[in-house]
Amino acid sequence: MPGRQVEGFLDVAHFAWIHTDTFADPDNQQVPDYTPQETPFGFVADYWSSVGNYPASSDFRAPEGFQWLRHFEMHLPFTATLTIHFPADARLVIMNAASPVSSRVTRMFAPIARNFDLHVPVEDVHAFNLRVFEEDRPDGRDPASGTVAAGSGPWRRIFRQTAALSPTGAG
């Protein structure tokens, strides 16, 4: 379960189908290629796209032609960070740390930091990101469920290697 939770956090292929109530554009279904790079701790990936990250209900929009950078860092086995680069050097950083509680229960920790809109209460930022996480809960109706983003393949391969080296075989 923690593996699926982290893998979902790294997956960008589902934005246009799953996150339309929060930030994604259902008409922008293109998933540009990107290549994760292995590191001693897992992998990193820079994903550039035109998919914005302002709340769908917001009047804010990026300048025409703006390319959003989502920088992923995967720290094996179950921790990933995402840095979203907004216009004007603004940044939003989300950590996703999945902690197995049992074979079917995962506790997720998601610290969030930003360097913009500091007048907006942090509770509003947390509420928005909770909505995004709730949209990610599996429901079996996801048309993108068969689509795997570039980060999923390396994550699965590196995770298998780590699990094989573990004394318990569990990573």
Highest mean pLDDT, choosing among 5-19, 106-120, 150-164: 106-120
**CA 125, CA 39: separation in Å to the nearest integer?**
30
36 or 168, which is more confident? 36
Return the axis-axis angle of helices 152-165 and 2-10, rounded to nearest 10°: 150
pLDDT of 164 over the 50 cut: yes
The pLDDT score that the predictor gives to residue 45 is: 92
pLDDT of 111 over the 60 cut: yes
Q: What is the DSSP string of 7-39?
A: HHHH--TTHHHH-TTTT--TT---------EEE
Please list the residues that pair with 43 across neighbouring strands. 38, 74
Contacts of 60 (CB under 8 A, 6+ apart): 54
What's the one-letter identity of residue 125?
V
**CA 160, CA 169: separation in Å to the nearest integer?**
9
Structure tokens given for 165: 């080296």
Judged by average pLDDT, the poorest of 9-18, 65-74, 86-95, 112-121 is: 9-18
The pLDDT score that the predictor gives to residue 85 is: 96
pLDDT of 145 over the 60 cut: no
The pLDDT score that the predictor gives to residue 30 is: 83
Counting residues of the chain whose pLDDT is more than 70, the rounded percentage is 77
Closest by CA position to 38, among listed 76, 95, 79, 68: 76
CATH topology of domain 2-163: Naphthalene 1,2-dioxygenase Alpha Subunit; Chain A, domain 1 (3.90.380)
Contacts of 35 (CB under 8 A, 6+ apart): 45, 150
**Per-residue confidence band for 112, with pLDDT thresholds at 50, 70 and 90:** very high
Name the maximum alpha-carbon separation found in the chain.
Answer: 52
What predicted TM-score, i.e. pTM, was given to this entire model?
0.78
pLDDT of 160 over the 90 cut: no
The pLDDT score that the predictor gives to residue 32 is: 81
